[in-house]
Structure 1
Amino acid sequence: MARWSYVCSKQWAVSHGEWDGTAATWQKFNNPDKERSYFHAHANGTGPFKLERWDPAAKYVLLARNDGYWRKPAVLRRVLIKAVPEFSTRRLMLQAGDADIIEPTRPLLSQLENIKGVRFADHLPRLATDPALFFTFKINTFANRDIGSGRLDGEGIAPDFFTDPDVRKGFAHAFDYEALLKDTFKGTAQRAKGPIPPGVPGYDARQPFYEYDLKKAESHLRKAWNAQLWEKGFKFTLTYSVGSENREAACRILQKNIESLNPKFKIDLRGVEWASYLDKAQRRLMPIFSRGWYADYPDGHNFVHNFYHSAGRYPSAQGYSNTELDAFIEKAAHEVDARKRKEHYSNILRLAFEDAPSIVTVHPRGVYALRDWVKGFADNPVFLDIYFYPLRKAYGDQ
């Protein structure tokens, strides 16, 4: 199963007004408002913990031990998961013992190193590509201040601004990949050539990739929009999600380097909360959005489909479609011959390089900061969240 879905009792779901699975009622349940669904605030599963309380306003979830779990019940009676965007607050909570585990971003890790009683689970393998910068091909203009005037006149951009491949390639060459690796990830990540991480079927070490080259960036941008772009300039807002320091850093690198090419190029930065960010991306309000992909299952299809297929997670939000890419992605998904499948993925990565619908940057590694009393911690490179079942809290020699 993909990690964003789960199996639950159909009888339970139907008893609470959810779809009964028949053709007669499917239209009523097609793309409903999430807040109206019973699933929005309730859960029914078979895991070691069950949902006791969810408080969206206070940004926390409280789990209670499931004493009917099929294995031995968990040691922990309750687990509190709290969203705290401000790193300074997370740090103080960890230092005071109000938090047992936090997930810091790499640029801020040094601020935790001298806290007594804190250890690190570091350099954790991840099947991931993050951050990536996605160009929106059909920007929604309705009440959208992010595109300025809505025209290529030096005070904004047109809604189809990124449909010109020279714009996309210029931006891809203007990104300083090594700066992100060195300054943000402190050398712990691996440069991404494409969306598929090394070790995952479909990865091709020989695939072409974009390198930081301001001369090439300028060359492409001078040609863009029949040479009008360079003469007129542009202005738009690049939005990042508050609390995501790695993605914010990627946005700042792109802003700095693009603006350095031409004084008529202007990019404003703005941070918004995660929920608003997701909404803006899905409504195609952002000219560029920064996200990442962590494997649902360890296969190249999970990455190329969501990066490049018109029905994939990010292309559908970009308004991006390439029929040739779609065809190769579908062929690769159905091919059983390993050699032929590898050829399909090589073609996919080559075509994606030529079309440049997004900028891939690094394959990161994970890190957690834990209090010494947390025992039993185990990491899984595919399961992103903390696996609470084996955890316990023990002090001293316990």
Structure 2
Amino acid sequence: MQKTTKKFATLSALLLVSAALAAAPADTLVIQTGADVPTMDPGVTYDTASSALVDNMYETLITYDGASLTKLVPLLATKWTPSNAGKTYTFDLRKNVKFHSGATMTCTDAEYTFERNLVTNSGASGNWFIAEPLTGTQSNAADDKSVTWAKIDKAVECNAAGQLVFTLAAVDPAFLAKLAYTGMAIVEKGYSAKLGEWDGTEKTWKDWIGKDLTGSELSKKPNGTGPYKLIRADANNHLFQSFDGYWGKKATIKNVIQQKVPEQAARQQALLRGDADIIDASGRAVDEAQIKGKPGVTWVDDLPNTTATAIFMNEKIGGKGNPLLGSGKLDGKGIPSNFFSDVNVRRGFSYAFNYQQYIKDVQNGKGIQRTVLMPDSFPGYDAKVKKYTFDAAKATQYFKTAWGGQLWKNGFVLTANYRANATASQTAMEVLKKNIESLNPKFRVNIQSKQWSEMLTDSRKGEEAMILIGWAPDYADADNFMYTFYASDGYYSPRANWKDASVDKWLKQARSTINVAERNRLYSLVGNRAYEQAPYILVPAPVAYNFFSSRVSGAPFTKAGFNPMTSLNWKDLSKK
């Protein structure tokens, strides 16, 4: 007991010292970010800020092999065997793996994890893409009556040999890649139940259907098998310590402190003084001017980028009395909730965004204007699809046509939110605001910052009028981007409320065939249709880069070891 108390006291002192921006010792990694952390429950982790922490506390059955985007290797599993023409997967699990609670991981924990994901599956989580191959639908039992306890129970089971067996409803060529996603990390059944989480039984499962786990008890008191365990957390600080009982290679860095520091300048100064080891990037132009080449900083450039970012134009803005709508009418004092349902409005906004200026100002010239919202390195990307360019004359033409001419005559006031403390997002909105307002003195775009967690929640409810948000892949397949952005039942659909019957048909066909050429053809059709309908403003994709304190090193910070599919694994780092 005394030893534990002493450790807590030492770590608390480190947290206070670091908060005061005093240089941290070699056994402590200090990370500063401008984002809040919505959750630490793997079952609902579906944003990069949360997964950055969850990935270091929890582990999945399999993971990516180094920098490879396609090769998968065992993690909590030791091997897997497909059978039944690809509809059954049997996993052997690693022995003597300890949870942070001290309990030994068993197949029961793994079975519970996936059943919990299927039961609580909702729009707040990424479990839709694992639910589809296992239950035959993206929906939970409340939204789709075909999802029964018997179906969930049969989908994932432990056999007599203690192996985990998945039985798929249909063949899914991306199934293994989906298991490598953060949200599929294994949690402890008994520990979770004692906290008040679902107990894993048929008796209580209906009480947990679609339940939002964002603020769950497990989120407050996480318990994984990963190399780091949470010691303490508050609204602005998270303190971690390497787990002595970890089954794998022990971490070199003993302590990790993540702090929320909203001010960009403060984060940059902390890095340059040596008070922080890793900070949020602020956009290439800012980072090259303020960080690159400075003493004590290592810069790694020309890394692969597998994210896609867009400005959403919500065609059905919800929320009773939503202040973003102003008057709620097209009277020059606001906008109606269906403002963006007119394709001419969307085209006008698309032509009003200065893509090359954004590449120059934010990405310092190292950006790529893609044709569709998916990585250009993925099969299915079609470089021949047309792209919008900044053209004030064409924007004016479409705005004059929109809403039968009433838009141009009356004008509008639109209020748009952007992620707080995110310079690149703010700049994109400022570029759009300036260009829109220059077209007509009656056009007004108000932009304001908003906390990330609040923006996620409100946009999921369809209550944001226009936001900039990106997508990092859950698994390395074109479907994860194309269906997410463009399908009427895709994950991002509530944020845009765009629907096109032909696009829906093509996307469903593409995910039901393993013929690569046919899938590519279908994605090209989707890309061309999306250009015509302009549901999104495609924000140029940056060429990825990294920078960090020169005191820190490790494979994830090298070109050969960097993997854009995974979070930064602290155990692979060292500090001098």
- The two structures have a TM-score, normalised by structure 1, of 0.92
- Where does residue 504 of structure 2 map in the other structure? 326
Partners of 2:565 and 2:229 lie apart in 1 by 18
Separation in structure 2 between the aligned mates of residue 249 and residue 48 of structure 1, nearest angstrom: 38
Partner of 2:350: 172
Q: Partner of 2:457 in structure 1? A: 279
1:382 corresponds to: 564
Query: Could you tell me which residue of structure 2 aligns to residue 14 of structure 1?
Result: 193
Give the Cα separation in 2 of the matches to 1:138 and 1:273.
Answer: 22
Contact 2:334 2:412 in 1 (8 A): yes
* In 2: Cα distance, 1:36 partner to 1:192 partner: 36
Q: 1:96-115 counterparts in 2 under 5 A? A: 96-105=273-282, 106-109=284-287, 110-113=289-292, 115=294
Q: How does 1:278-317 map onto structure 2 within 5 Å?
A: 278-317=456-495
SS in 2 for 1:269: strand
CA contact (8 A) 1:202 1:300 kept: yes
- Number of matched residues? 391
Contact conserved, 1:174 with 1:213, CA < 8 A, in 2?
A: yes
Choose 376-385 or 268-277, whichever is displaced more: 376-385
- Give the Å deviation of 1:71: 1.9
2:220 pairs with 41, 54, 75, which one? Answer: 41
C-alpha distance in 2 between matches for 1:384 and 1:267: 36
Q: Distance in 2 between matches of 1:373 and 1:87?
A: 21
Matching residue of 1:119: 298
Distance 1:217 1:341 in 2: 33
In structure 1, C-alpha distance between the alignment counterparts of 2:432 and 2:571, rounded to whole Å: 41
Q: What is the 5 A alignment of 1:62-211?
A: 62-105=239-282, 106-109=284-287, 110-113=289-292, 115-130=294-309, 132-211=310-389
CA contact under 8 A between 1:102 and 1:368: conserved in structure 2?
A: no
Distance 2:433 2:420 in 1: 17
2:485 counterpart letter in structure 1:
F
| Paired residues of 2:371 and 2:385 also in contact (CA < 8 A) | yes
- Do the aligned residues in 2 keep the contact of 1:202 with 1:299 (CA within 8 Å)? no
CA offsets 1:87-119 (integer angstroms, 9 cap, x no match)? 111022112222112232223211124642222
Per-residue Cα deviation, 1:287-325 (whole angstroms, up to 9, x for no partner): 101101112222111111111112222212223332322
TM-aligned CA distance change 1:74 to 1:332, over 3 Å: same
Map 1:344-363 to 2 at 5 A: 344-363=522-541
In the TM superposition, residue 196 of structure 1 has moved relative to its aligned partner by 1.3
Tell me the residue number matched to 1:32.
Answer: 211
Q: Is the 8 A contact 1:137 1:318 kept in 2?
A: yes
Name the aligned partner's letter for residue 63 of structure 1: F
Quote the Cα distance in structure 2 between the aligned partners of 1:389 and 1:159. Answer: 48
Q: Counterpart of 2:230 in structure 1: which amino acid?
A: L
CA–CA separation in structure 2 for the residues paired with 1:35 and 1:277: 14
Secondary structure of 1:69 counterpart: coil
| 2:556–2:563 CA contact under 8 A, matched in 1 | no
SS in structure 1 of the partner of residue 285 of structure 2: helix
TM-superposition CA deviations, 1:356-389 (whole Å, max 9, x none)? 1111121223333322211215143433532211
Cα shift readout 1:100-152 (whole Å, capped 9, x = no counterpart): 1223222321112464222212332221113x100111112423221110000
Does the 8 Å CA contact 2:316/2:496 hold for their aligned counterparts?
yes
SS in 1 for 2:572: coil
CA–CA separation in structure 2 for the residues paired with 1:137 and 1:253: 22
**3-state DSSP of counterpart to 2:492:** helix
Asked if 2 retains the 8 angstrom alpha-carbon contact of 1:157 and 1:236, the reply is yes
Alpha-carbon displacement from aligned partner over 1:12-31 (angstroms, at most 9, x marks no partner):
33333322444542331133
* Cα 1:270/1:167, change in 2 over 3 Å: same
Whichever residue aligns with residue 379 of structure 2, its letter is P
Counterpart CA distance in 2 for 1:51 and 1:388 is 13
Q: Which moved more, 1:77-86 or 1:153-162?
A: 77-86
Equivalent residues of 2:464, 2:495 under 8 A apart:
no
- The 5 A counterparts of 1:354-373 are 354-373=532-551
Secondary structure of the structure 2 residue equivalent to 1:334: coil
Residues of 1 paired with 2:536 and 2:360: CA distance?
21
Please point out which of 424, 427, 433 is paired with 1:246: 424
The AA in structure 2 aligned to 1:94 is L
Gap change, CA 1:83 and 1:366, over 3 Å in 2: farther
Return the letter of the residue paired with 1:292. G
In the alignment, the residues of structure 1 paired with residue 320 and residue 395 of structure 2 have an alpha-carbon distance, to the nearest angstrom, of: 31
Contact 2:318/2:463 (8 A) holds in 1: yes
How many angstroms does 1:223 deviate by? 0.9
DSSP 3-state at the match of 2:426: helix
Q: Could you list the runs of 5+ residues in structure 2 that have no partner in the other structure?
A: 1-179
Task: Give the 3 Å change call, closer, same or farther, for CA 10–331 of structure 1 in structure 2.
Answer: farther
d(CA) in 1 for partners of 2:237, 2:509: 43
Structure 1 unaligned regions, length at least 5: none
CA distance in 1 between counterparts of 2:503 and 2:214 reads 36
CA 1:345–1:245 in structure 2 vs 1: closer, same or farther (change >3 Å)? same
SS in 2 for 1:389: helix
Secondary structure at 2:413 match in 1: strand
CA distance in 2, matches of 1:24, 1:352: 46
Deviates more, 1:2-11 or 1:327-336: 2-11
Q: Relative to structure 2, which stretch is displaced further, 355-364 or 33-42?
A: 33-42
- Between the aligned partners of 1:36 and 1:290, the Cα distance in structure 2 is 25
Name the amino acid aligned to 2:539.
T
Cα offset for 1:242? 1.6
Query: Secondary structure of 1:203's match?
Result: coil
Q: Distance in 2 between matches of 1:250 and 1:2?
A: 29
- In the alignment, which residue of structure 1 is the partner of 2:103? none
CA apart distance, 1:83:
2.3
Distance 1:220 1:36, change over 3 A: closer
CA 299–133 in structure 1, closer or farther in 2 if over 3 Å, else same: same
How far did residue 279 of structure 1 move? 2.8
